[in-house]
Amino acid sequence: MSDDKRKERGLCELYAEDPDRADALVFGRKTHADRRGFLKGAGLAAMAAAVGAQIPFHRNYPAGLIPAALAEAPGGLVLEGKDGLVILGDRPINAETPAHLLDDDVTPNSRHFVRDNGVMPDMAQKMDASGWTLTVDGEVDNPLTLTLDELKGRFKPVRLKLQVECGGNGRAGFNPPAHGNQWTVGAIGNAEWTGARYADVLKAAGVRKSALYTGHYGMDAHLSGDPNKVPISRGVPIAKAMEPHSIIAFEMNGEPIPKYHGFPVRTICPGWPGSTSHKWLKRIWVRDVIHDGPKMEGDSYRVPRYPVKPGAEVPKDDFRIIESMPVKSLITSPENGAQVGGRSLAIRGHAWAGDRSVAAVHVSTDFGATWVRTDLKRAPNKYSWQTFAARLEFPSEGYYEVWARATDDQGVMQPFAVAWNPKGYLNNAMHRVAVTVS
């Protein structure tokens, strides 16, 4: 089955099974309360934007009916406020950004990938934070319950450009295939986040010497609908939480955090698997053991301690928790498959290296035989990705591939092909884009 078919079916199935939820996802609102008045205001504007035209007979349009324009659109489901994302799944929502749409130095909200494990909370769906508090408890002398105003007012806010990359970004490149979302290269974003320093909040809570790890809890519901189940609860070692770039964010690119990205508040633990950047945050449980919430154990966000043969069974005790993400780069211009007239081409992209910085990015147009060093910018702040650019000359017409290879500040380079692991994490193989010169 083609990808387009699968996604279309996803949308049609969603409308067939749960039209209210489908409307809410597509148009960003709950419709059951006002079925007769469905296409008004924000819902009408969102639908007009989604189908690409005004809708003269909008008053007649029934709620919960899949718009034909979307059913036939390649890619199917449209996420409100998102631009050009490829949707891998709609329950939970998972969507990645094509590489050429990640060209901006700072990723706009409309182009940041989305990765959910459960169901978005109502508070985010409505973008209304009334009643929200954050609790900090556990290994602290002074447990806190903060309102949004207190979080914003009690601590000096910081504003930082920070990379968030899903631990499974690149999973589609594994053979034998790994279960999970088949991310290609676009589960990475570098938005500008505003928030309190995680360290300041922990200090205000009087974090104890016995504190070893944090445990994050959010407001999203488990897919099963069971209110006693938590979809995901991960955390970080205290040292990572105390790092000055780990923040408890309340703004993304100068706006309240969009519903998909954790409204009203989330952690950002940059450079580590995105799953440590907990959305819709409501509680930080400070632990005196390594946090053992759902998706901390087993093979979730864990990799074998030693290299394994592709397809091997790995004993559970031989896994370790993923911490820093590895060095990686992405060519964001030209787009894969570009046709170039003439012999010269400007290329651009970004590179990042988890807790480290990127020392160099090289590119090759002859399948790795020779490499040219690109012009690599410094990060505006630590944990931002770094932008590279180069001008390439092609000796003749024909099919070329542009390959990019970043090197981190410890001399570690991206590999040609990734080392296999059971769940398909940490694929940092070189990015390649095809270019036809005529």
Ligand X SMILES: Nc1nc2c(c(=O)[nH]1)N[C@H]1C(S)=C(S)[C@@H](COP(=O)(O)O)O[C@H]1N2
Binding site for ligand X (CB under 6 A): 112-118, 164, 166, 189, 218, 220, 231-232, 260-261, 274-275, 277-280
Q: How far is the CB of 168 from Mo ion (least distance, A)?
A: 6
Residue nearest to ligand X (CB): 274
Beta-carbon contacts of residue 82 (< 8 Å; ≥ 6 apart): 95, 110, 111, 114, 260
Q: Which does 112 bind (CB under 5 to 8 A by kind): ligand X, Mo ion, none?
A: ligand X
75 versus 231: smaller Cβ distance to ligand X: 231
Which partner in ligand X, Mo ion, none is near 8 (CB below 5 to 8 A by kind)?
none
112 or 423, CB closer to ligand X?
112
Distance (Å, rounded) from C-alpha 360 to C-alpha 373?
A: 7
Comparing CB distances to Mo ion, the nearer of 171 and 405 is 171
CA distance 431 to 201: 38
CB nearer to ligand X: give 79 or 286.
79
- Cβ closer to ligand X: 230 or 340? 230
Which residues contribute to the site for Mo ion (CB under 5 A)?
Answer: 115, 166, 274-275
State the nearest-atom distance from the C-beta of 181 to ligand X, in Å: 9
Say which entry of ligand X, Mo ion, none residue 117 contacts (CB below 5 to 8 A, set by partner kind): ligand X
Q: Is the dihedral of CA 137, 197, 215, 135 positive or negative?
A: positive
The smaller minimum CB distance to ligand X, of residues 190 and 374, is found at: 190
DSSP notation for 39-68 = SSHHHHHHHHHHHTS--TTGGGPPTT---H
Whether 329 contacts 431, CB under 8 Å: yes
Question: How many CB atoms within 10 Å of residue 51?
Answer: 15
Are 365 and 430 within 8 A, CB to CB?
A: no
Strand 133-138 versus strand 281-287 pairing type: parallel
Least Å from the CB of residue 270 to ligand X: 12
Q: Which is nearer to ligand X, 124 or 402 (CB)?
A: 124
Report the side by side order of strands in the sheet with 328-333: 328-333, 344-352, 386-393, 375-376
Q: Which does 272 bind (CB under 5 to 8 A by kind): ligand X, Mo ion, none?
A: none
165 to 46, 68, 96: CA distances (angstroms): 28, 34, 11
Out of ligand X, Mo ion, none, which partner does residue 261 contact, by CB within 5 to 8 A per kind? ligand X
What are the backbone dihedrals phi and psi of residue 126, each rounded to the nearest 5 degrees, phi first?
-90, -10
DSSP letters spanning 210-237: T--EEEEEESPBPTT--TT--S-----B
Q: Which of the 8 DSSP states describes residue 161?
A: E
Residue 170 CB, nearest approach to Mo ion (Å): 12
Which of Mo ion, ligand X, none interacts with 15 (beta carbon under 5 to 8 A by kind)?
Answer: none
- Report, in Å, the least distance between residue 191 CB and ligand X: 8
What is the nearest approach in angstroms of ligand X to the Cβ of residue 164? 6
Indicate which of ligand X, Mo ion, none lies near residue 132 (CB less than 5 to 8 Å, by partner kind). none
